[in-house]
Amino acid sequence: MRTRTMVSVALSGCVAMLACACGPDKSKEESDAKVSEPSASTQVEESSAAPSPSAPSEKPSAEPAGDQPAPKTKEGAIERYEEFLHALGREDIDTVCEVAGPAAQQAEDDGFGPCTSTFVTVFQMIPPEKKEALKTATVDPQGVSVLTPAEVEIPAAAVRASVTFSEDEIGSSTLEYLKDDWFVTD
């Protein structure tokens, strides 16, 4: 096993903890409950094509739109990982914990705290210039390894940003297709 920097260790641990506190099961249940209620955006669409200035703005959901499953493709996994990277840069704890749910659960099972408290520490360890770079980071598809149709590995070298991220900083991430979406599992 490679020795990683403290940031990498904390980031990995936080990913696992975040998943535990706000994993896919909780988000899916909350999402299912919301499906039965008409959303504010549906009501706005029915009354007007343009949103009213007083309409509440909502964060984009980490869940697939409606009941549509996310694409079970390499491209779908990349899109989901980019969502995770952007959320790290924005310090969007809800999205980070949702996407990293399974890994966070494992970390919590291993004795780390809940995802939400662990990632707050990780956010503080990321230098401002790297946070800014994460907000627009992309993944080079050529660097992504498809392990199985439901599992991909994305190494740090595949992350494209205005600054370079080393393996010691963000490591490799494994994403698995679970419950109709991609989640960071390792």
Query: Where is pLDDT greater, at 160 or 22?
Result: 160
**What's the pLDDT tens digit per position in 53-87?**
333 333 334 444 456 899 999 999 999 999 999 99
Instruction: Output the pLDDT for position 66.
Output: 55
SS3 1: coil
Range with the poorest average pLDDT among 32-41, 59-68, 71-80, 113-122: 32-41
- In DSSP terms, 139 is beta-bridged to 159
Do residues 123 and 18 lie in contact, with contact meaning Cβ atoms separated by under 8 Å? no
Strands (E), the chain: 138-139, 145-148, 151-154, 159-160, 173-178, 181-184
**Is the pLDDT assigned to residue 10 strictly greater than 50?**
no
> How many percent of the chain have pLDDT more than 70?
64
Do residues 56 and 44 lie in contact, with contact meaning Cβ atoms separated by under 8 Å? no
Q: Half-sphere exposure of residue 47, counting CA atoms within 13 Å on the CB side? A: 9
